[in-house]
Amino acid sequence: MKKALVLLLALCLVVGLCACGGSAQSIKFATGGTSGTYYGFSGVIANVLNEKLADTLNISVESTGASKANIQMLDAGECNLALVQNDVMYYAYTGTDLFSGEDPITSFSAVCSFYPEYVQIIASSDITSIDQLAGKNVSVGDAGSGCEFNAKQILEAYGLTFDDINVSNQSFADSADSLRNGTIDAAFVVAGYPTTAVTELATNYDFNLLPIDADHAAALQAQYGFYYYGNIPGGTYTCVADDVPAVAVMATIVASNDLSEDVIYAFVKGLFDYKADIAASHVKGEELDLDTAVSGVNIPWHPGAVKYFAEQGYTLG
């Protein structure tokens, strides 16, 4: 009798361990380079949710080549969750701009937006408006990058094309160096503020951040549904005292359509239930906000996200 009881208890323990170990959904989360915000912020999210929702989620963070590569990885089944810019996800879904000439990728859907990545137009102190960029040497970001398309769209809103400027394709760090050295007059930088390259530039070079007025912002939003309009706060950079109105794209989480409604619901709920824990380890966690989370999305939503946000009073298309 005693031997049978021991065997029964051992069997129950094995069954219990198998149930616990097998219930968590393994998720590969594609982010960005190891030195960037995407990777660091996603790593914090993974650590918090893996601890708090250990029976539900098991998230591993992957270092990647950022937005376009992440969407391609999702489509290929090499990951099932990714952090991307919302303009790039729109290009992928529609087969336009950055994905021009390619078949639309529709194997993913939106989960939530995180924070705005502002189009920061930094210019020498004698330039005060975007229309003054005509005839100037302007860096529009790396060739083929999302930044380059943002620059093209914004210039066109002001009646300019790349033919009206002397285009230079440089990284954000190289753009800052070139502006300091006088080899360019302005540069487009798309990133969450403060951006390291721009902060460092402000230590020994006075520049202007060029504003986008409400009318031009509205025109951009009407043509491209992914733009967000807000302010870069005064004092973000030491040489810019006042708030500067600007447009932004959103850092957005997308998921493979193969992930279940229950898994994505648990993921999004966990983000907001444990927001304080995430914010305690990464400053971007403080920007988690329900209104922001449903902003700037113009592709279909994942059913799990629709369910969670409906409970919070948001009806998503």
Q: What is the CB neighbour count within 10 angstroms for residue 155?
A: 22
Is domain 117-249 annotated with CATH 3.40.190.10?
yes
Helix 214-223 with 146-157: angle, nearest 10 deg: 120
Instruction: Please tell us whether the domain made up of 24-114+251-311 is placed in CATH 3.40.50.2300.
Output: no
pLDDT tens, residue by residue, 50-100 = 999 999 999 999 998 878 999 999 999 999 999 999 999 999 999 999 899
How high is the pLDDT of residue 17? 40
Q: pLDDT tens across 191-232, in order?
A: 888 888 999 999 999 999 999 999 999 999 999 989 999 999
Is the pTM above the cut of 0.85? Answer: no
pLDDT > 70 in the chain, percent: 92
With H, G, I as helix, E, B as strand and everything else as coil, classify residue 253.
strand
Q: Are 299 and 109 in contact (CB under 8 A)?
A: yes
Contact 264, 305 (CB under 8 A): yes
Tens digits of residue pLDDT in 295-305? 889 899 999 99
Give the span between the Cα atoms of 70 and 53, in whole angstroms.
25
Residue limits of CATH 3.40.190.10 in the chain:
24-114+251-311, 117-249
